[in-house]
């Protein structure tokens, strides 16, 4: 018989999520606390969102807090680098280089 430990995050008597580690459960619970605080902030604002939209925005900001915090501090968000091609395109050959490549070593070049 196996014993399995599960950590369940419960809010207002409702099971929200189950985790295998306490660390993950605590992190999710903290994220929900942040979302609740953001929801209160949005409710007090003059923005006209319906309740569902306010919850979605609050959860998004809470989930992405590591990306949002630098922005709120005035730091520009890091832009994702453009995807580089796996193979570099061949450089265009210079016509003068082609003529030099055709010339025999030690031979004279025609003018």
Asked if residue 18 is part of any domain, the answer here is yes
CA distance 15 to 65: 23
Instruction: Tell me what pLDDT residue 75 has.
Output: 85
What pLDDT sits at residue 57?
Answer: 92
How far is Cα of residue 79 from the mean position of the Cα atoms in its chain? 10
Q: Is the pTM of this model over 0.85?
A: no
**Within-domain flag for 54:** yes
Please report the pLDDT score of residue 58 as a whole number.
92
CA dist 60 → 31, 63, 66, 91, 104 (Å): 10, 5, 11, 45, 68
Q: What is the pLDDT of residue 9?
A: 92
| pLDDT value, residue 76 | 81
C-alpha 71/C-alpha 97 separation (Å) is 50
Domain assignment present for residue 111? The answer is: no
Task: Give the chain's domain count.
Answer: 1
- Domain assignment present for residue 45? The answer is yes
pLDDT averaged per 10 residues in sequence order, the chain, 111 residues: 90 90 93 92 86 91 91 79 58 54 54 50
pLDDT attached to residue 24: 94
Domain containing residue 71? 7-79
Residue 86 lies in a domain: no
For residue 96, what pLDDT is reported? 57
Q: Is residue 1 situated within a structural domain?
A: no
Q: What is the pLDDT of residue 84?
A: 62
């Amino acid at each position: 018989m196996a014993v399995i430990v599960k950590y369940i995050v419960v809010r207002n008597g409702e099971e929200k999520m189950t985790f295998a580690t306490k660390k993950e459960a605590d992190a999710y619970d903290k994220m929900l606390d942040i979302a609740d605080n953001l929801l209160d902030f949005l409710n007090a604002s003059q923005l006209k969102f319906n309740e569902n939209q306010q919850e979605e925005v609050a959860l998004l900001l809470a989930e992405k807090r590591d990306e949002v915090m630098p922005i709120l501090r005035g730091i520009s968000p890091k832009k994702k680098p453009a995807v580089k091609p796996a193979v570099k395109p061949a450089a265009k050959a210079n016509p003068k280089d082609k003529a030099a490549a055709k010339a025999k070593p030690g031979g004279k070049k025609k003018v």
